[in-house]
Structure 1
Amino acid sequence: MLTRSTRSMVTFSNDFTIGDSTRALPAGTYEILIEEELMQSLSFEAYRRTATYLMIRGRGRNAGQTSMQMTTQDEVDHAIASDRALSETTNDSEAALSPLEDTT
Structure 2
Amino acid sequence: MFARTRHRRVHFDEPFWIPDLDEMVPPGDYEVDEDEELIEGISWLAYRRVATFIKLPATAESKYRMRLVAIAPEELERLIAVDRHSAANAPSPKL
What TM bracket, shorter-length normalisation?
0.7 to 0.9
More relative contact order in 1 or in 2 (CA 8 Å, sep 6+)? 1
State which structure, 1 or 2, has the greater radius of gyration over its C-alpha atoms. 2
Q: Percent identity?
A: 28
CA 1:21–1:60: 2 relative to 1, 3 Å: closer
Return 61-70 or 25-34, whichever deviates more: 61-70
Q: If the length of structure 1 is used for normalisation, what is the TM-score?
A: 0.76
Q: Give 1:87 deviation, angstroms.
A: 1.8
Task: Supply the RMSD in Å over aligned alpha carbons.
Answer: 2.3
Is the 1:10–1:32 contact (alpha carbons within 8 Å) kept by the matching residues of 2?
A: yes
Q: Give 1:23 deviation, angstroms.
A: 2.4
Structure 1 unaligned blocks of 5 or more:
93-104
Runs of 4+ aligned structure 1 residues displaced above 2 Å come to: 18-23, 61-65, 88-92
Q: Give 1:82 deviation, angstroms.
A: 1.0
Structure 2 unaligned blocks of 5 or more:
none
